[in-house]
Amino acid sequence: MDAVAVQAVASPVPVLPAQLRDFGRQEYAPVWRAMQRFTDARDEATADEVWVVEHAPVFTLGQAGKPEHVLAPGEIPVLQVDRGGQVTYHGPGQLVVYPLLDLRRLKIGVRDYVCRIEQALIDTLDEWNIVAERREGAPGVYVGGAKIAALGIRVRRGCTFHGLSFNVDMDLEPFHRINPCGYQGLQVTSVLDLGGPSGMDAVKAVLLDQLARQFGLVLQPVSALPDLSLPA
């Protein structure tokens, strides 16, 4: 996989409001069902939202995921989900962001959407003098050949769900139980391991600011969360 030159992506205009919901630490499946319900119910008048969460330990297999890439899950559950991509791990100390955006309203395509997320991550790491890159044909962000952030998205009727996972300060051992993103022997790393901050709040603030800049959003925090007890 060859590195791709990093280029800044201009923010779209006009600036649009989006609701920001912080879920804290949650199991994966209830949040997944909630984003499905939100996406199914939204229309052209629905405001965009950005959800942030830390998940309890789980392996997720995307639509292209192959069971043979789950090597030895042990006690960690494995879920087949409806995002793009292969297998990845979520767990405490990893920042997960789900942008629920109307790409038609933003007037951008899927490829541009992915590039903007990657650029937000690259610019976030630059805050701590960590040089990151994207790679052709392998969505996500890498530092020195090791993956620090994974992307897995879905677009339905022009609206995005699922999103990104960013390793901040977490136990990376579970990644050895899989072929991350379908690549045998792919190394992973974290913000803390590279000399960045360990505090989730500090990293979250910078990443959300960079995402807002890339997509031309004004994030408006709201305390109310969707009912996570409902079925899909």
Catalytic residue list contains 115 = no
Q: Quick one: which of 94, 53, 73, 57 has its CA closest to 193? A: 94
Which of 143, 181, 186, 217 does the annotation list as catalytic? 181
SS3 annotation, 132-171: CEEECCCCCEEECCEEEEEEEEEEECCEEEEEEEEECCCC
218 annotated as belonging to a binding site for a ligand: no
d(CA 168, CA 173): 14
Q: Has 63 been labeled as part of a binding site?
A: no
Does residue 83 have a known ligand-binding role?
yes
Q: Is 101 labeled as ligand-binding?
A: no
Q: Is 198 annotated as a binding residue?
A: no
Instruction: Write out the two tokens for 10.
Output: 């201009």
Residue 69 annotated as lining a ligand binding site: no
Is 87 labelled as part of a ligand binding site?
yes
Give backbone dihedrals phi and psi of 121, rounded to 5 degrees, phi first: -65, -45
Place of tokens 């960013």: 166
Question: Residue 197, preceding bond cis, omega within 30 degrees?
Answer: no
Residue 85 annotated as part of some ligand binding site:
yes
Residues catalogued as catalytic? 181
* Residues of the binding site for substrate: 83-90, 150-152, 163-165
